[in-house]
Amino acid sequence: MKALGEREFDHYDPEFIKDPYVVYDHLRNACPVAHTSKQGGFWILSRYADVRAALQDWQTYSSAIPGTIAIPNYHARDYPVLPIEADPPAHGKYRSLVRDVFAREAVDQLEDVVRDVADALIDRFAATGHCDLVHDYALPLVSHALARFLKLPVEDAERWVYWAREIFEGRMGDDPARTSGATEEMAAYVDGLMANRIAEPQDDVFSLLTQARVDGAALSPLELRGYGILLLTAGREATVDGINNALWFLAEHAAERDWLAQRLDDGAALRAAVEEFLRNMSPIQLLGRITTRDTTLHGVTIPKGESLGVLYGAANRDEAEFPQAASCVLDRRRNPHLAFGVGVHTCLGAHLARLDLRVAIKQLLRRIPDFSLAAEPLWASNGDTRGFRRLDIRFVASSRPESGDNDMESPA
Ligand code: HEM
């Protein structure tokens, strides 16, 4: 498949990253079952109906081989990251272990903490008139909130951010030593955490996993490692990207920014806007599956054992499902987007992600209702996610009138 002109679909191509939507339009219209030889070679689904159906058909499109989810997989592991790299029925047994921890009522108790962290971060830059939303706001906010949610020391978040960067930049720079070094450090950190909880159980999700039984057996050390790694890494970058994508849009669209700034206390309006940001600028654009049998779609047969890329980002921009799909319609009413997936692997952390987005947008708009881009933003350099590596804004400097002691533990 040549997506456009002589170029094949390549989510690492800077041209694609700058504007993937023109490629998505082409795929949906002309090539709903595509194949590219780039990044190890894989098939691509882009229409909403096909993506939705594939995500629900785990019998044909499996997640159960370690490394299948990322395309390409540079660092194959011999253990699965759980529960995402498992298929039913095993998947459900692993997922149900932590379901209560991620329930909406449990997550919403964190709202005051997230709001205080957001305010403390804004205090640090409000008087300067400028900031980089990635490093001064979204990244420390999400890391801090996740640490509090997982009941881990906030200082540890600095290491998670470092590992994520090493793994990612090692991959991008084709430096496997950097990637595998950071992966090993992260595995050692999780192993230590689990060993500590086995020796001294606490009231936290890691102790819950060390005490859990699946079919009567405790989780093996590698299962505990895989689960722990996913909890630390699964949605952190995606949530940071989700916040920044929304704030980038608001920086660029004054009318929508004013509209939302006037509705910050209208919970329903804010929630609808968050869903629309997630649909229109989905933080996760592409994830992988592996076919378990030959399957024919739109007259094209995808053979058994092939890698398949599922384009959440293209599905969420499909006009057949979303009128005005390219526009960010903040009060869109019907919005069955796939930003958190669908089917058995639907995002476990969706409530936490939504809370982070809601609070981050609300507190920033409340304190800084008028802001604009201060420089050309730096997009993330991998098209399977959509987000920024740097996002500078400027605004009228202000100090917090009622500001008193607002110390926070040092976030990442
Ligand atoms: C805006 C932020 C987020 C987005 C866009 C997002 C997106 C997704 C998507 C698309 C999936 C499905 C993957 C698949 O079908 O293979 C998923 C799964 C998952 N997410 Fe998220 N996520 C976000 C935040 C989070 C957070 C904050 C956490 C936890 C702290 C989290 C934990 C998980 C887990 C554990 C799974 C695997 C669920 C399973 O396999 O049953 N996510 N996420």
State whether the Cα torsion 4-9-15-20 is positive or negative.
Answer: positive
Cβ pair 304, 33 in contact under 8 A? no
**Of residues 27, 65, 26, the one with CA closest to residue 44:** 27
Ligand 1 atom closest to Cα of 95?
Answer: 41
What does the pLDDT look like over 324-382, one tens digit per residue? 999 999 999 999 999 999 999 999 999 999 999 999 999 999 999 999 999 999 998 78
- pLDDT score for 131: 97
CA gap 166, 160 in Å, rounded: 10
What does the pLDDT look like over 28-79, one tens digit per residue? 999 999 999 999 999 999 999 999 999 999 999 999 988 888 898 755 677 8
CA 228 to ligand 1 centroid distance, Å: 14
Ligand 1 atom closest to Cα of 236?
Answer: 27
- pLDDT score for 240: 95
Residue carrying structure tokens 């098939």:
43
- pLDDT score for 166: 77
Average pLDDT, the chain: 92
**Of residues 313, 324, 319, 316, the one with CA closest to residue 380:** 313
| Nearest CA owner, ligand 1 atom 39 | 345
CA 271 to ligand 1 centroid distance, Å: 18
| Nearest CA owner, ligand 1 atom 30 | 349
CA 355 to ligand 1 centroid distance, Å: 14
Q: What percent of the chain has pLDDT over 90?
A: 79
Query: Ligand 1 pocket by C-beta < 6 Å: which residues?
Result: 55, 63, 69, 83-84, 95, 146, 230, 234-235, 238-239, 242, 283-284, 287, 312, 339-341, 345, 347-349, 352-353
SS3 302: strand
CA 399 to ligand 1 centroid distance, Å: 37
Radius of gyration of the chain (CA): 21
Helices (H), 43-89: 48-56
CA 234 to ligand 1 centroid distance, Å: 6
Q: What percent of the chain has pLDDT over 70?
A: 92
pLDDT surpassing 50 at residue 411:
no
State mean pLDDT over 19-27. 96
- Asked which of 160-164, 317-321, 325-329, 395-399 is least confident by mean pLDDT, the reply is 160-164
- pLDDT score for 159: 86
What does the pLDDT look like over 106-133, one tens digit per residue? 999 999 999 999 999 999 999 999 999 9
Cβ pair 138, 363 in contact under 8 A? no
What does the pLDDT look like over 195-216, one tens digit per residue? 999 999 999 999 999 999 999 9
CA 236 to ligand 1 centroid distance, Å: 9
**What is 14-395's CATH topology?**
Cytochrome p450 (1.10.630)
CA 124 to ligand 1 centroid distance, Å: 30
pLDDT category of residue 235 using cuts at 50, 70 and 90:
confident
pLDDT category of residue 234 using cuts at 50, 70 and 90:
confident
SS3 213: strand
Ligand 1 atom closest to Cα of 63?
Answer: 16
- Residues 6 or more apart whose Cβ sits within 8 Å of residue 29: none
- pLDDT score for 341: 98
What does the pLDDT look like over 146-168, one tens digit per residue? 999 999 999 998 888 788 777 76
CA gap 90, 64 in Å, rounded: 10
Ligand 1 atom closest to Cα of 142?
Answer: 27
Distances (CA, A) of 256 to 80, 316, 329, 330, 360: 43, 20, 9, 8, 17
Q: Which two tokens stand for residue 393?
A: 């804004």
| Nearest CA owner, ligand 1 atom 37 | 84
**Backbone φ/ψ region at 219: left (φ over 0), alpha (ψ -120 to 50), beta:** beta
Ligand 1: which of 340, 342, 357, 359 to mutate, most ligand atoms within 8 Å of CB?
A: 340
- Residues 6 or more apart whose Cβ sits within 8 Å of residue 332: 272, 275, 276, 279, 322
pLDDT surpassing 60 at residue 322:
yes
The separation between CA 217 and the C-alpha centre of its own chain, rounded to angstroms, equals 32
pLDDT surpassing 50 at residue 225:
yes
pTM over 0.75: yes
Q: How long, in residues, is the chain?
A: 412
User: What residue segments make up the domains of the chain, in order of their start?
Assistant: 14-395
| Nearest CA owner, ligand 1 atom 22 | 235
Angle at 348 between CA 343 and CA 353, to 5 degrees: 120
CA 267 to ligand 1 centroid distance, Å: 23
Cβ pair 387, 244 in contact under 8 A? yes
CA 372 to ligand 1 centroid distance, Å: 30
> Percent helix, strand, coil in the chain (nearest 5)?
50, 10, 40
Ligand 1 atom closest to Cα of 352?
Answer: 27
